[in-house]
Amino acid sequence: MQRRRYDENGVEFSRRASVALNSLVSTDRSRVLRAIELLQRSPDDPSIKRMVKEFSDATDLYVMRVTGTLRLVFTYSGTSLSILDIVRSNRLKKMYGGLL
């Protein structure tokens, strides 16, 4: 069972996402946190929707392009935002290839 934590805004982070976030350099970490903030504030904004794709066979599972190489894997339903993973784009297909 993975432990989860919540940030001060109520966003849920899986253990994997927490470890990935903490291992990023400060500029990438800032970009990821900014992307999460945008998702939380206005997930239905058209400019945000352009950066987000839904996984094909998984309900409410999404991937967001944060930088040229970083992707944010998350679930969103109503007001609940859960960050599942933060991965480099070259690893995304290896890890989640069947769902893309």
Pairwise CA distance, residues 22 & 25, whole Å? 8
Regarding the domain with residue range 4-90, which homologous superfamily does it belong to in the CATH classification?
RelE-like (3.30.2310.20)
Residue 86 has pLDDT above 80, yes or no: yes
pLDDT for 94 equals 78
What SS3 state is found at 39? helix
pTM over 0.85: no
Mean pLDDT over 57-79 rounds to 86
Q: By CB neighbour count within 10 A (0-12 exposed, 13-18 middle, 19+ buried), where does 85 fall?
A: buried
pLDDT band at 57; cut points 50, 70, 90: confident
- 2-48 tens-digit pLDDT: 556 656 667 899 999 999 999 999 999 999 999 999 888 877 788 88
